[in-house]
Amino acid sequence: MRLHPVPASQGFGWVKLGARTFFRQPLAMAGLFFMFMAVVSVLSVVPVFGSLLAIALVPSATVGLMAASREAHEGRFPMPVLLVTAFRGGFNQARPMLVLGAIYAVVLTALVGLASLAGPGEAPVLTPDTEITPEMLRQAMFGPGMLLMMLLYIPVLMAFWHAPALVHWHGVAPVKSLFFSALACWRNKGAMLAYGLGWLAVFLLGSVVISFVAALFGGAQAMGFMLYPAVLLMAAMFHTSVYFTFRDSFIDHDGSAAAARPAGSDPT
């Protein structure tokens, strides 16, 4: 397996492929993403260890959603069992993924700790009657802690972007997978930047559409009713596209796509 450089324009192609694949199986892809979010929500209720476990499961869920994207792209219906693709090959195959998840949980917890030190502040208490003002949003999104978190998370995101697929489908050791993932993102930084800008445009357009529809059907109340499910749908569409960034960034020595193996197969 080796890195495969792609042109910057491919980033927009990944956005199109993700959206097109999502709308081939919208109920299945959205349902799988909602299932994952439901599991995260339930685990987060458990004090301390629940949140850590939820974070540690993100790489495994990423593999499951990538496997589902491939099924939908190839014209098959992605079954719910694909969400646990990382654990279907037995403990020996699941163990590296669990190690990768543990690394991710530790790193993300450390970043949150650093961000809280940079801008501890006092979070506003939100109740059903709280009016969210532009000033509250500005403080939440552009405070020193959040800006530091975003800055530090960029290299972490690069390291973990392809790592779950490399570990599961190609048997790469967790630490090595982080290096190869970061290297692949850097080599294809033009395409990854276009990919990010493309999805930013999609989310901005989606917010404009939601605001327009909400204004027609009750203003703020309609906005509150529509916003959360709409964001989840767009997030599900985004996660559908992640598979294509991996498929095109690595190729096997024979020139075939690196993600050509069946989901859950033995990487060796």
How far apart (Å, rounded) are the C-alpha atoms in residues 195 and 85? Answer: 26
Say yes or no to pLDDT of 7 above 60.
yes
pLDDT score, position 236: 93
Task: Supply φ then ψ for residue 193, to 5 degrees.
Answer: -65, -45
pLDDT in tens, 106-126: 999 888 888 777 654 444 444
Long-range pairs, 134-142, Cβ under 8 A, ≥24: none
pTM passes above 0.75: yes
Instruction: Give the whole-angstrom CA distance, residue 53 versus residue 55.
Output: 5
Of 7-11, 168-172, 208-212, the poorest mean pLDDT is in 208-212
pLDDT tens per residue, range 239-266: 999 999 999 999 876 656 666 454 444 4
187-231, pLDDT tens digit by residue? Answer: 999 999 999 999 999 999 988 887 777 677 766 666 666 777 888
What are the domain boundaries of the chain?
2-251
Measured CA angle at 236 (ends 142, 167), to 5 deg? 95
Q: pLDDT tens for residues 17-62?
A: 999 999 999 999 999 999 999 998 898 888 878 889 999 999 999 9
Cβ atoms 11, 191 nearer than 8 A: yes
- Lowest-pLDDT choice from 99-108, 112-121, 161-170, 171-180: 112-121
How far is the C-alpha of 169 from the C-alpha of 184, rounded, in Å?
Answer: 16
What pLDDT, on the 0 to 100 scale, is given for residue 129? 46
Structure tokens at 22: 């999502």
